[in-house]
Structure 1
């Protein structure tokens, strides 16, 4: 079985795959100070609950946008699973796609892996929208080449900035507003309208501009924690795929195994 690890700015996601089937998925808050031993204590218990022994895992792949977290995840793989982990974008787990931007090495591993999975699953030109700490828009052409994209503040980051830099505005939960009206009658409703519908308008506007620049039909794939929430409020997404990053890591691991 494959253990795929995706270390993002907010969470580290561990996914256990048996072939193409995901047997388990767990997440823990990203903390570069967390040791390999701490990861092991937490993860081994979760594997035991699923009835999976450590020796059943024969391949590990890691993708990270937090460089300081990589070392301790490698320690986890080597000390507790006796496996030399694959690192997305390195060696046998090289991306294998054309990264057609000014500084290819600056592309985040999660965005490259999403691009690989999106192209494997969908034909034609693609726009991948990933809702994470930042919201990213990635453009992949019909040949699978990464052509660039956009980085915008994530909605929770935007809300944190709004609340943290004002004296009287309260903390609110991100949800679909109960009313279709964009004229709020109280402070909380006005904040939710501004954050939620403002974010929807931003996405719709940027995607329209990207499509116009591509000049050809482009399918929009949404992934990340809030993708389902926004999918209910707009028709700009052609597909929502919560497992896009994990599937991309599985593709890289399969390619590496055949080299």
Structure 2
């Protein structure tokens, strides 16, 4: 999927959010794992006596305000903008660590309500994991 002479960063979001780095040679370098939005919401609910359990929409073009005017809106704001900020920071740091002129960024997974805010260079790939398995299997059969 990635162009020749390009490194890649892969963001996958579901129960957990993973941000992984692949160098220009196609070698997995490692990554980061953090709780997904719904897991974070459940953790706030389970770990506190007063905070409600909220459902954050998985997709959408409406972004919540960064300043919540009540508890529910403040939780939504923190979960939404906090996860986006974490992913953006990880992408920036991993990009710098890959020492490459061009880094392709791919996103996959069902819980990316802010994917449009990651920038135009991001390529969405709904079945990235399955595509990777198919490529690996083909390589094993041919190699």
Scaled to the shorter chain, the TM-score interval is 0.7 to 0.9
1:114 aligned residue: none
Listed as ranges, the gaps of 5+ residues in structure 2 are none
Q: CA deviation at 1:254?
A: 2.5
SS of aligned partner of 1:136:
strand
Q: TM-score, normalised by structure 2?
A: 0.84
Deviations 1:135-164 (A, max 9, x none): 111111111111111121222221111111
2:10 alignment partner, one of 110, 113, 128: 128
Q: Does 1:169 align with 2:54?
A: no
Listed as ranges, the gaps of 5+ residues in structure 1 are 1-120
1:139 alignment partner, one of 21, 35, 50: 21
Q: Does 1:249 align with 2:129?
A: no
SS of aligned partner of 2:25:
coil
1:187 aligned residue: 71
The answer on whether the counterparts of 1:221 and 1:239 sit within 8 Å (CA) in structure 2 is yes
2:84 aligned residue: 200
Q: How many residues align?
A: 138
Deviates more, 1:170-179 or 1:210-219: 170-179
1:11 aligned residue: none
Q: TM-score, normalised by structure 1?
A: 0.49
1:220 alignment partner, one of 94, 105, 115: 105
Mapped to 2, the partners of 1:172 and 1:236 lie a distance apart of: 30
Matches within 5 A, 1:87-166: 121-123=1-3, 124-166=6-48
In structure 2, do the counterparts of structure 1 residues 144 and 153 end up closer, same or farther at CA, with 3 Å as the change threshold?
Answer: same
CA RMSD after TM alignment: 2.1
Q: CA deviation at 1:242?
A: 1.2
Displaced runs of 4 or more, over 4 A: 176-180
Deviations 1:210-233 (A, max 9, x none): 112223231211111123x22133
